[in-house]
């Protein structure tokens, strides 16, 4: 059974009288444990597709079944709960909370999920070690390099043990070496934690890590 | 706790904006505290000083109030000692004392001046403030002499122990005068009062005016001002059909009560205006702050923070700002109130015209401190709640892609 089943997904934006079709009938399945790359040029609809899968946006039509539950059209609170417990996000610009240190940034989703303090401490210790930030755990985001910030974002995405991690251009703001290292870490976590990763990129070098590649062009899957 | 931590850390990481908001709240709270202290001081002045002077109930000879001459002795109370005895038997009556007021010409060799003469009883409980204002001599001096103000003494070139002639029109309409030694010099906080009044014993006044056993007013002091109506009704029953008018403090100070009501209205309008201005500044600053951090909020929403959680996070910041701003406001306002509570705010003729002395003495009360502190917090909370409402109406995508 697919973790996620996407069927005939359309997304249109309205700019005045102009309607822009960002996604045109996308259908595919994501299996548990997948490591999927969504590839395509700028403006092809990669971010839109990831936002819809991550339930931070609603499609114009079509359905997304997450563990057999259609997440389109759910209430805002219900979608928040799904994002909190089942989905992790990694953003291109890291999007860390600037006033919190590394540990606190990672801890934030666990606090929202009402995890007990002892559980939180153990999980953060584990993740800080995993992403190699043990020596930086009390640093604020502005005291970290781009690669270190993205590792914090990865740890935060994984902290509530989600089924799915969505990463929108996670290497775009990093140099190629660091970008490759981040993808390698994501790949390792995919295997260690059995977490499904879906990430977008237009970096051809990272494609070799993907189990599946979905190529988008003009809002449609081309291969 | 994480919301409070984020709130406090954010306040620290945006020092200029935090300072603007805290200053706006502090100014609002400081102004409200100062205005409240002033108006409460006026009210306090009324209930302590003016009622101390006027009494809670006055028994006045019928017709006196209708006389065109405020110093007329045509209408006086006969057998006022009976009224005093009756009054003292009533529950809650602390003191009942006679007063005989008259117009008098104070004459020295070089000058003369018209004044209000006051025949008072040295045993009266109403003499406390006069006693405290004596700078030379003593209150007992009224038994065989007169008390005049320091200003009158200066104008008339008189000093303690000098002799002065007091000329009056007696009860038979004839001019009559007696010589009195100056046995005391006083100075109150009201120059109008000082310029106008001289004091002697009621017995001396009765002799001067040829009004044996008579007084113009009997004033009653009660243990509780709220007993005035009941006591006045008892007296009205006891003296039904007699030529006396009985007035409670509310009737005596009707105009002033109206003034107090007007000042209450003034304080509400002033506070409302202050609140609106402060709330506008705070809302604007908080909104700017929130829009600057829209992506941060979008990220929080993306990782699972509900709208209600975001609302709580933003209003926690508002509460923190309100708390700090209100503390700063009280730190500004309380010293101002304490200063004017000690030294008074001189309004000169304006406050004198209301019979409140030349200065307003502010009054610091816990009630207004708490109210103004709470108001400051509520202003900030309202501003933050509006900002939060604006932010949570936006979708996660809109906040994440905010530029």
Q: What is the mean pLDDT of residues A185-195?
A: 85
Q: CA-CA distance, A56 to A33, in Å (whole number)?
A: 22
Q: How confident is the model at residue B355 (pLDDT cuts 50, 70, 90)?
A: low
- C-alpha to C-alpha distances, B316 to A99, B4, B93, B384, nearest whole angstrom: 15, 6, 54, 8
> What is the total residue count of chain A?
223
Tell me the percentage of chain B whose pLDDT exceeds 90. Answer: 38
pLDDT in tens, A138-173: 999 999 998 899 999 999 998 998 999 999 988 887
Which helix (H) or strand (E) segment holds residue B57: the answer is: strand B57-61
Amino acid B225: pLDDT = 84
Q: How confident is the model at residue B8 (pLDDT cuts 50, 70, 90)?
A: confident
pLDDT in tens, B173-196: 899 999 999 999 999 877 788 889
Q: Which of A8-12, A204-208, B175-179, B383-387 has the lowest mean pLDDT?
A: A204-208
Amino acid B353: pLDDT = 60
The alpha-carbon gap from B279 to the nearest alpha carbon of chain A, in Å, equals: 26
Q: Do B13 and A95 touch (CB under 8 A)?
A: no
Q: Which two tokens stand for residue B271?
A: 């506070």
Q: What is the mean pLDDT of residues A38-65?
A: 91
Q: What is the mean pLDDT of residues B257-262?
A: 80
Residues of B with Cβ-Cβ distance to A96 under 8 angstroms:
299
Q: Do B299 and A51 touch (CB under 8 A)?
A: no
| pLDDT of B255 above 80 | no
Residues of B with Cβ-Cβ distance to A57 under 8 angstroms:
395-397
Q: What is the mean pLDDT of residues B299-311?
A: 92
Is any Cβ of chain B less than 8 angstroms from the Cβ of A84? Answer: yes
Q: How much is the pTM?
A: 0.72
Q: Do B303 and A81 touch (CB under 8 A)?
A: no
Chain B residues in contact with chain A using a Cβ-Cβ cutoff of 8 Å: 2, 5-6, 9-10, 12-13, 295-296, 298-309, 395-397, 400
The alpha-carbon gap from A164 to the nearest alpha carbon of chain B, in Å, equals: 12
Q: What is the mean pLDDT of residues A108-129?
A: 93
Amino acid B176: pLDDT = 93
Query: In terms of pLDDT, which residue wins out, A177 or A44?
Result: A44
CB-nearest partner of B306 from A77, A85, A88: A77
The alpha-carbon gap from A220 to the nearest alpha carbon of chain B, in Å, equals: 21
**Closest Cα in chain B to A94:** B299
Q: CA-CA distance, B198 to B137, in Å (whole number)?
A: 14
Instruction: Judge contact between B220 and B246, C-beta under 8 A.
Output: no
Q: Do B397 and A56 touch (CB under 8 A)?
A: yes
| pLDDT of A83 above 80 | yes
Q: Do B295 and A95 touch (CB under 8 A)?
A: yes
| pLDDT of A96 above 70 | yes
Q: What is the mean pLDDT of residues B92-107?
A: 92
Output the average pLDDT for chain B: 87
Tell me the percentage of chain A whose pLDDT exceeds 70. Answer: 100
| pLDDT of B239 above 90 | no
Query: In terms of pLDDT, which residue wins out, B97 or B242?
Result: B97
Q: How confident is the model at residue B346 (pLDDT cuts 50, 70, 90)?
A: confident
Q: What is the mean pLDDT of residues B256-285?
A: 80
| pLDDT of A178 above 90 | no
Q: Which of A147-151, B63-67, B100-104, B386-390 has the lowest mean pLDDT?
A: B63-67
Instruction: Judge contact between A159 and A123, C-beta under 8 A.
Output: yes
Interface test with B, best of A97, A155, A167 (most B CBs within 10 A): A97
Torsion angle, alpha carbons of B196, B200, B201, B205, to 10: -80
Q: Do B307 and A54 touch (CB under 8 A)?
A: no
**Closest Cα in chain B to A158:** B303
Is any Cβ of chain B less than 8 angstroms from the Cβ of A149? Answer: no
Between chain A and chain B, the number of residue pairs with CB atoms below 8 A apart is 75
Sign of CA dihedral B344, B345, B347, B348: positive
Amino acid B350: pLDDT = 65
Q: CA-CA distance, B234 to B210, in Å (whole number)?
A: 31
Q: What is the mean pLDDT of residues A185-207?
A: 84
Q: What is the mean pLDDT of residues A172-186?
A: 81
Name the residue among A100, A183, A101, A110 with its Cα closest to residue A136: A101
Amino acid B269: pLDDT = 86
Instruction: Judge contact between A84 and B304, C-beta under 8 A.
Output: yes
Amino acid B240: pLDDT = 83
| pLDDT of B348 above 70 | no
| pLDDT of B271 above 90 | no
Q: How confident is the model at residue A84 (pLDDT cuts 50, 70, 90)?
A: very high
pLDDT in tens, B11-48: 888 888 889 889 988 998 998 899 888 888 877 777 77
pLDDT in tens, B56-73: 999 998 888 787 777 888
Computed over its alpha carbons, how large is the radius of gyration of chain B?
31
Amino acid B190: pLDDT = 76
Please, how many CA atoms are within 13 Å of residue B106, restricted to the half-sphere of its CB? Answer: 28
Amino acid B128: pLDDT = 84
Q: How confident is the model at residue B142 (pLDDT cuts 50, 70, 90)?
A: very high
Query: In terms of pLDDT, which residue wins out, B349 or A195?
Result: A195
Amino acid B349: pLDDT = 64
Q: How confident is the model at residue B358 (pLDDT cuts 50, 70, 90)?
A: low
The alpha-carbon gap from B44 to the nearest alpha carbon of chain A, in Å, equals: 49
SS3 B199: strand
Residues of A with Cβ-Cβ distance to B295 under 8 angstroms:
93, 95
| pLDDT of B357 above 70 | no
Amino acid B352: pLDDT = 61
Q: How confident is the model at residue B206 (pLDDT cuts 50, 70, 90)?
A: very high
| pLDDT of B323 above 80 | yes
Amino acid B152: pLDDT = 93
Per-residue DSSP letters for A93-158? T----TTS-HHHHHHHHHHHTT--HHHHHHHHHHHHHHTT-GGGTT--GGGS-HHHHHHHHHHHHH
| pLDDT of B354 above 80 | no
Residues of A with Cβ-Cβ distance to B306 under 8 angstroms:
76-77, 80-81
- C-alpha to C-alpha distances, A54 to A66, A194, A212, nearest whole angstrom: 10, 18, 19
Q: What is the ipTM of this complex?
A: 0.91
């Amino acid at each position: 059974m697919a973790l996620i089943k996407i069927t005939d997904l359309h997304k249109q934006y309205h700019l005045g009288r102009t309607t822009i079709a960002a996604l045109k009938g996308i259908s595919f399945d994501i299996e548990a444990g997948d490591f999927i790359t969504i590839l395509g040029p700028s403006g092809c609809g990669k971010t839109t597709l990831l936002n819809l899968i991550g339930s931070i946006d609603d499609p114009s039509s079509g359905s997304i079944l997450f563990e057999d539950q259609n997440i389109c059209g759910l209430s805002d609170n219900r979608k928040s709960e799904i994002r909190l417990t089942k989905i992790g996000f990694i953003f291109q610009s890291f999007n860390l909370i600037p006033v919190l240190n590394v540990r606190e940034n990672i801890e934030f989703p666990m606090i929202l999920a009402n995890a007990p303090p002892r559980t939180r401490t153990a999980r953060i210790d584990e993740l800080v070690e995993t992403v190699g930030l043990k020596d930086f755990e009390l640093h604020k985001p502005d005291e970290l390099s781009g690669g270190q910030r993205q590792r914090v974002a990865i740890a935060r995405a994984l902290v509530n043990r989600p089924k799915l991690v969505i990463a929108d251009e996670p290497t775009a703001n990093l140099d190629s070496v660091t970008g490759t290292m981040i993808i390698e870490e994501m790949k390792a976590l995919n295997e260690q934690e059995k977490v499904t990763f879906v990430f977008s990129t237009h970096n051809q070098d990272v494609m070799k890590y993907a189990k599946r590649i979905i190529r988008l062009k003009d809002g449609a899957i081309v291969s | 706790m994480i919301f409070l931590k984020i709130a406090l850390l954010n306040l620290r990481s945006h020092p200029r904006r935090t300072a603007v908001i805290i200053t706006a709240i502090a100014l609002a709270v400081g102004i409200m505290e100062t205005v409240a202290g002033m108006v409460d001081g006026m009210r306090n002045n009324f209930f302590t000083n003016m009622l101390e002077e006027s009494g809670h109930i006055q028994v006045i000879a019928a017709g006196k109030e209708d006389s065109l001459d405020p110093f007329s002795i045509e209408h006086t109370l006969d057998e006022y000692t009976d009224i005093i005895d009756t009054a003292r038997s009533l529950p809650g009556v602390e003191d009942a004392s006679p007063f005989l007021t008259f117009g008098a010409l104070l004459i020295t060799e070089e000058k003369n001046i018209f004044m209000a003469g006051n025949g008072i009883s040295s045993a009266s409980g109403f003499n406390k403030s006069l006693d405290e204002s004596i700078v030379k001599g003593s209150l007992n001096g009224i038994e065989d002499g007169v008390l005049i103000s320091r200003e009158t003494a200066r104008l008339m070139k008189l000093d303690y122990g000098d002799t002065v002639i007091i000329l009056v029109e007696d009860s038979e309409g004839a001019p009559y005068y007696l010589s009195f030694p100056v046995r005391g010099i006083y100075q109150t906080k009201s120059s109008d009062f000082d310029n106008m009044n001289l004091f002697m014993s009621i017995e001396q006044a009765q002799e001067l005016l040829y009004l044996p056993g008579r007084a113009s007013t009997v004033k009653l002091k009660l243990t509780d001002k709220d007993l005035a109506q009941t006591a006045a009704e008892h007296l009205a029953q006891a003296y039904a059909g007699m030529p006396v008018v009985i007035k409670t403090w509310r009737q005596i100070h009707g105009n002033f009560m109206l003034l107090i009501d007007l000042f209450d209205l003034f304080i509400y309008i002033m506070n409302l205006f202050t609140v609106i201005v402060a709330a506008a500044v705070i809302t604007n600053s908080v909104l700017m702050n929130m829009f600057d951090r829209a992506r941060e909020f979008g990220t929080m929403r993306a990782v699972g923070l509900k709208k209600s959680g975001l609302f709580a996070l933003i209003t926690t910041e508002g509460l923190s700002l309100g708390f700090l701003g209100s503390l700063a406001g009280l730190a500004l306002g309380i010293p101002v109130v304490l200063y004017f509570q000690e030294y008074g705010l001189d309004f000169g003729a304006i406050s004198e015209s209301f019979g409140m002395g030349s200065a307003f003495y502010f009054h610091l009360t816990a009630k207004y401190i708490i109210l103004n502190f709470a108001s400051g917090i509520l202003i900030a909370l309202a501003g933050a709640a509006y900002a939060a409402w604006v932010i949570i109406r936006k979708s996660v995508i809109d906040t994440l892609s905010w530029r």
